[in-house]
Amino acid sequence: MGKQNRFNGFGEEIPVDTMKLSENAAAIFAGFHQYKDFEAAYAASKDRVGGFPGLWQVCAHAARVVTEQEAVGKLRFDEEKPQWIDFVDYLVEYLIEHMRKYGSAPMGSELESMVTRVAKNVGV
């Protein structure tokens, strides 16, 4: 069975890849704001990541990497288990720790490696 589009609350079809990207971005962004050390990490890196808009870009890049890895089958979440939630929680923790330690967010291959490590830790 191929990819099926989803419907929003208004009955409009949304391509599944667009929906997954949106879900991943929203979850990662929310995870940042719920994380216990968010304020300290943000204070340490806000100038290097470009403030609040830069933080959104960090989340968008991370969501893109996660969505791309889902699309090619590198990430497969079991819908019956809370794997996706655990994955997002750990990914946010890794991102925040990196920002606090280095004053910037991981990008490119470093971000891809981080996503892979988190997936292994969660058992995805």
Rg (CA), the chain: 15
User: For residue 69, how many other CB atoms are within 10 A of its CB?
Assistant: 17
- What's the number of domains the chain is made of? 1
Whole-number Å distance between alpha carbons of 27 and 16 = 16
- Read off the pLDDT of each residue in 17-41 and give the average, rounded to a whole number: 87
Angle at 76 between CA 16 and CA 84, to 5 degrees: 85
For residue 1, what pLDDT band results from cuts at 50, 70 and 90?
very low
Whole-number Å distance between alpha carbons of 72 and 61 = 17
Residue 20 within any structural domain of the chain: yes
Q: Residue 6: what pLDDT?
A: 67
Residue 8 within any structural domain of the chain: no
Residue 1 within any structural domain of the chain: no
Burial class (CB in 10 A: 0-12, 13-18, 19+), 58: buried
Q: Residue 40: what pLDDT?
A: 76
For residue 8, what pLDDT band results from cuts at 50, 70 and 90?
low
Whole-number Å distance between alpha carbons of 19 and 70 = 12
Residue 87 within any structural domain of the chain: yes
Residue 6 within any structural domain of the chain: no
Residue 23 within any structural domain of the chain: yes
- Of 7-11, 52-56, 68-72, 120-124, which has the strongest mean pLDDT? 68-72
Residue 24 structural domain: 14-122
Residue 46 within any structural domain of the chain: yes
Residue 63 within any structural domain of the chain: yes
Read off the tokens for 88.
């997002």
| Mean pLDDT value across the chain | 84
